[in-house]
Structure 1
Amino acid sequence: MRLNLLESYFGNLESAWHAGKAALVSAGLDNSLAENIVTSRPKIDLPKTLETLKRHDIQVYTHTDSDYPARLKQIHDYPPLIFVKGQLWGNDELCLGIVGTRQPTIYGKLVTEELAESLARSGLTIVSGLARGIDTVAHTAALKAGGRSIAVFGCGLDIIYPSENSCLARQIAENGALVSEHPPGIRPRPEFFPRRNRILSGLCRGILVTEAGENSGAVITANFALEQNREIFAVPGSILSAASLGTNRLIQEGAKLVSSAKDVLEELNIGLFSVPDNTLAPAPENQTESLILDKLGYEPIHIDHICRECGLNIALVSGTLAIMELKGQVRSAGGMHYVRTREKKEIYQLEMN
């Protein structure tokens, strides 16, 4: 907002850059900040900064550039400039943010994966924050479905946070974009992430919270989205689960309850058509597969429980589940839990003019 203030006062940021302390104070900055700007300005090595941007293949868009996201510019505190690694497309105007807890339950992972895949396959660009947990699941599922994804950073784009998502960040840049309001070299700080969230929601038509505790950062993102007149969606969870307190409360307060991708697409009032999905999971090929499939439902079951229910040893069940997963009959839910693969009735796709 300070950059917007300076641009409004001086007419452009170049004039603000060359202004003296008195002029900066007249523009609305306090004395200490104006003094800091004037004394720090000579220390900035512009050629080195440009070389860093080139080395990391980072582009800079100001809010006056045609490539600056039009939807982001609608919010009152839009960043005057953004750093982008990858490509922002025109179709990225059809963005949906998917956010949630950094410590999801198995249920949270499964519903996020299913919804992100379906929505990305329909043509929406999935936006999230590259954080551990729900963000990571959403990005990964969107890319797995052959869709696009955008990750919004709370630091410079040359610093991947968390570091274990370096490979995922590279894949997103190749099939979407990494976006930040921070220049290269700026490390993540706690106060940056709430500000990051207003960019995340600002890029999107709506925000879907799939699983979040009562004080989750995902709820903060939903609040930003509400202020920005974006749609709010939430997946209901167990009233006994602390991980669902935030999503359940959002629904109580008026968020659209989501049980399928169709719920989101219809609420966004996006033209779409359905394509029947006639693909069926292969039938069991032997008695062991049939026995295991009979014991599995759509709620995660631990492999030890499957062994007990089927009366089979762990080696046989483990090997059979691995084969069944490759064939698309079952899915791993993580932590040695498995579920039956849900049958898809319809695939929804956007109507492109």
Structure 2
Amino acid sequence: MDERLCLLALRLVPGIGPKRITALLDRYGSAQEAWRARGTWDEVPGIGTALAAAARRVDERLVETHWHRLAAMGARVVTSGDADYPPGLHQVPSPPPVLFVKGALPPAAQPSLAIVGTRRASPYGLRTARTLGRDLAAVGVAVISGLARGVDTAAHRGALDGQGTTVAVLGSGLDVVYPPENRDLMEEIAVNGALVTEYPLGTQPQPGHFPARNRIIVGLAQGVVLVEGSRRSGAMRTVAIATDCGREVMAVPGDADRWGSDGPNHLVREGAALVRHAVDVLDTMGWAAMFPAMEIAAGCDPEQVPGLQDVTARLLVALQASATLTIDELAAMVEAPVGTIVGALIGLELAGRVIRLPGGRFSLPR
């Protein structure tokens, strides 16, 4: 077997995870040599006789069957030595040597942001996460989250609303739907982004998998926004990893007496950037001038995005005719997709040509 198949073989051994794979690679120099020498694994610190015996029960046929099952479902193996291995993962604790991916990973040059929070989100948290996901995806930011109930699901759905890219990091195998109600969402994400996991096919979600997958969420993102969650929540552990890895940490403020606002409000008090909407994220991350939609709205070269200048002009005409309008109202009047409307509106907002009002409404400056 070649190096990539041998890495897959190592990952298929029960009890062998990233730390132990790294120990084996350090000891033997390559996955191929480690696999050939699995009869001597009991000599490697941290491996022992039980894991060495488990390795001997994983044969070449099992490895190749797993490989073909992945291919049959449109998925693939990405190893730490591959060109499309996300570079940010090298900065997290115990980088996963093997990823299982279904869909297209965002290019390294594409801005990416993790939106995280509690599974028990309030209506405010769900609405905010979905709006952030939609608006950021509409202007070209890849939205990263964990497919859990609550904030994660809302962020992914928002990114799809914005016709953009979203990546879901799973705590199970690619063939295990969790939570079960997100089956259709998983399929949509695989088409409009990627499903990513470090767990082989058939792996069921376990409590310990989710804290581990949080480091992958951080590794795929350049910044993290906490929408809701207590200071003891799993989302706050994601924030802690992000801080240790030098990622920008942002938070959505909330009511002082709501338990889910405890984590974000604490972060803001400690100096995290406050996020009300997508423009705050773009400003904080320094992304405000990176997207053609914003350049056109500010009066730059319209040829970069054919048709967008016309949408921008029609938005301004619609806002001149009405006092205030929501995004859905503007989309109906301008007869353009919501994702296009959002991108143009954010550009106009950054250029100071429209203002955002409470309740998600927009108007011209007075």
Please state which band the TM-score falls in when normalised by the shorter chain: 0.7 to 0.9
Task: Go from structure 1 to structure 2 and tell me whether the alpha carbon gap of 1:139 and 1:345 turns closer, same or farther (over 3 Å shift).
Answer: farther
Q: Which has the higher strand share?
A: 1
Q: Partners in 1 of 2:329 and 2:247 — Cα distance? A: 41
- Does 2:161 match 1:156? no
Aligned twin of 2:350: none
Aligned twin of 2:81: 64
Aligned twin of 1:89: 106
Q: Partners in 2 of 1:195 and 1:130 — Cα distance? A: 14
- Does 2:32 match 1:14? yes
Aligned twin of 1:5: 23
Aligned twin of 2:217: 200
How much does 1:30 deviate? 3.5
Aligned twin of 1:103: 120
Aligned twin of 2:232: 215
How much does 1:342 deviate? 2.0
Residue 94 of structure 2: which of 65, 77, 92 is its match? Answer: 77
Aligned twin of 1:309: none
How much does 1:280 deviate? 4.1
Question: Is this contact kept in 1: 2:106–2:165, CA < 8 A?
Answer: no
- Does 2:93 match 1:52? no
Task: Go from structure 1 to structure 2 and tell me whether the alpha carbon gap of 1:38 and 1:324 turns closer, same or farther (over 3 Å shift).
Answer: closer
Number of residue pairs matched? Answer: 300
Q: Which residue identity does 2:85 align to in structure 1?
A: Y
Task: Go from structure 1 to structure 2 and tell me whether the alpha carbon gap of 1:344 and 1:91 turns closer, same or farther (over 3 Å shift).
Answer: farther
Aligned twin of 1:125: 142
Task: Go from structure 1 to structure 2 and tell me whether the alpha carbon gap of 1:25 and 1:345 turns closer, same or farther (over 3 Å shift).
Answer: farther
Q: Partners in 2 of 1:141 and 1:344 — Cα distance? A: 19
Matched residue SS, 1:232: strand
Q: Partners in 1 of 2:183 and 2:270 — Cα distance? A: 37
User: For structure 1, which segment, 129-138 or 50-59, has the greater mean C-alpha deviation from structure 2 after superposition?
Assistant: 50-59
Deviations 1:197-232 (A, max 9, x none): 000111100111111123221111111111111111
Q: Which residue identity does 2:92 align to in structure 1?
A: I
Aligned twin of 1:332: none
Identity of aligned residues (%): 35
TM alignment of 1:306-325, pairs within 5 A: none
Gaps of 5+ in 1: 285-292, 299-322, 329-339, 347-353
Question: Is this contact kept in 2: 1:93–1:203, CA < 8 A?
Answer: no
Q: Partners in 1 of 2:131 and 2:190 — Cα distance? A: 22
- Does 2:361 match 1:343? yes
How much does 1:53 deviate? 1.0
Q: Partners in 2 of 1:73 and 1:40 — Cα distance? A: 31
Residue 141 of structure 1: which of 158, 182, 187 is its match? Answer: 158
Q: Partners in 2 of 1:7 and 1:30 — Cα distance? A: 12
- Does 2:182 match 1:170? no
Aligned twin of 1:233: 250
How much does 1:324 deviate? 8.4
Aligned twin of 1:261: 278
Q: Partners in 2 of 1:227 and 1:32 — Cα distance? A: 35
Aligned twin of 2:347: none
The alignment's TM-score, normalised by the length of structure 2, stands at: 0.74
Deviations 1:18-68 (A, max 9, x none): 21443x244322424433434433497123212311221111011111011
Q: Partners in 2 of 1:158 and 1:56 — Cα distance? A: 9
Task: Go from structure 1 to structure 2 and tell me whether the alpha carbon gap of 1:181 and 1:92 turns closer, same or farther (over 3 Å shift).
Answer: farther
Q: Which residue identity does 2:211 align to in structure 1?
A: P
Task: Go from structure 1 to structure 2 and tell me whether the alpha carbon gap of 1:345 and 1:216 turns closer, same or farther (over 3 Å shift).
Answer: farther
Matched residue SS, 2:361: coil
RMSD, matched Cα: 2.9
Deviations 1:233-288 (A, max 9, x none): 1001111101111111122223211122122112212333362653549969xxxx
The alignment's TM-score, normalised by the length of structure 1, stands at: 0.77
Q: Which has the higher helix share?
A: 2
Q: Which residue identity does 2:162 align to in structure 1?
A: A
Q: Which residue identity does 1:105 align to in structure 2?
A: S
Residue 183 of structure 1: which of 194, 200, 221 is its match? Answer: 200
Q: Which residue identity does 1:189 align to in structure 2?
A: Q
